[in-house]
Structure 1
Amino acid sequence: MTDPRPPAAGTTDGSGGTSPDVTDTCDGLRLETSRPADGTVVVAVTGELDMLTAPELRHAVAEQISAASLVVLDLDGVRFLGTSGLAALIELREQAHRAGVELRLACTERRVLRPIGIAGLHHLFDIHDDVQAALDS
């Protein structure tokens, strides 16, 4: 008989990766972290990235950078990207760069890509259409 419950966070999911760790903040930000391969971390971000939630993103991703060679931020679930969210992405990019870690973004949503473009930041980020494309590049 098969147990219908998902594996505990951080345990093997049967596909070689691990099941996701999920963090819900009181401000409505949800971060789902998975490790599809050794040294690779994917953080799916859902909610609003603003001055209340950007520190949560910054803290959660910064913790992952030290143990990774590649971090992919899946931003398709972001409903709003404010200037504080943009600042957090820039800071994470700089931290990853200093640590020798690749940071890639996966996103096709206009509500995320437009603020990045308007701010003239698109050249700073390696942006892909989806997580798999980011992992494969």
Structure 2
Amino acid sequence: MQHAQESSAEPPSARRGTEADDQITVSSRTEGPGRFVVEVGGEVDMLTSPRLRAVVLEHLAAEGAELIVLALDGVSFLGTSGLAVLIEVREAAHAAGVELRLACTGRRVLRPLSIAGLVPLFDIHDTVEKALEDT
């Protein structure tokens, strides 16, 4: 019996952290002074949305930040926690005087935004390039 306990898998908390890391990708790049593109892929849910929030808030705090584009076409699932983060970073951007735009054509993102009645709150573009125009 003791041997079985010693050979058991990692504790659930350790597995959960690994799974969350595998479920989302968040990368960012600079597109000129004060302009950032944050590319998001995978699942944005209760476990992964804090990572997205942290990256966006870090860019909002950057000196001279003017525009953040969230590229969301790589998102395969957008849960209510992900919607909450989008609202939170939108409000933080507004308070900081930074423009926030979404670049997305995917149904997996647009449908939850639409169902929740949030589409009018966001400046949504078909491509990152279009979102970067007119600044």
Q: Same fold (TM over 0.5)?
A: yes
1:104 correspondence with 2:89: no
Question: Which residue of structure 2 lines up, in the alignment, with residue 38 of structure 1?
Answer: 33
1:29-79 deviation line (CA, Å, top 9, x unaligned)? 111100010100000001100000011100111000122110000000000
Runs of 4 or more consecutive aligned structure 1 residues displaced over 6 Å after TM superposition: none
Shift of 1:26: 2.0
Higher helix share: 2
- Correspondence list, 1:64-103, <5 A: 64-67=59-62, 68-103=65-100
**Contact 1:27 1:52 (8 Å CA) reproduced:** no
The structure, 1 or 2, with the larger RCO (C-alpha pairs under 8 Å, 6+ apart) is 2
Is 1:50 aligned to 2:58, yes or no?
A: no
Gaps of 5+ in 1: 1-24
3-state SS in 1 of match to 2:89: helix
Aligned residue-pair number? 113
Q: Structure 2: any 5+ residue segments left out of the alignment?
A: 1-19
Match of 1:85, SS state, is helix
Under a length normalisation based on structure 2, what TM-score does the superposition of the two structures give?
0.81
Which residue number corresponds to residue 136 of structure 1? 133
User: Residue 88 of structure 1 aligns to a residue in which SS?
Assistant: helix
- Give TM-score, length-normalised by structure 1: 0.80
Question: Does the CA contact (< 8 Å) of 2:21 and 2:48 recur in 1?
Answer: no
Tell me how large the CA RMSD over aligned residues is. Answer: 0.9
Work out the percentage of aligned pairs sharing the same amino acid.
61
Q: Is the 8 A contact 1:29 1:45 kept in 2?
A: yes
8 Å contact from structure 1 (residues 27, 53) kept in 2: no
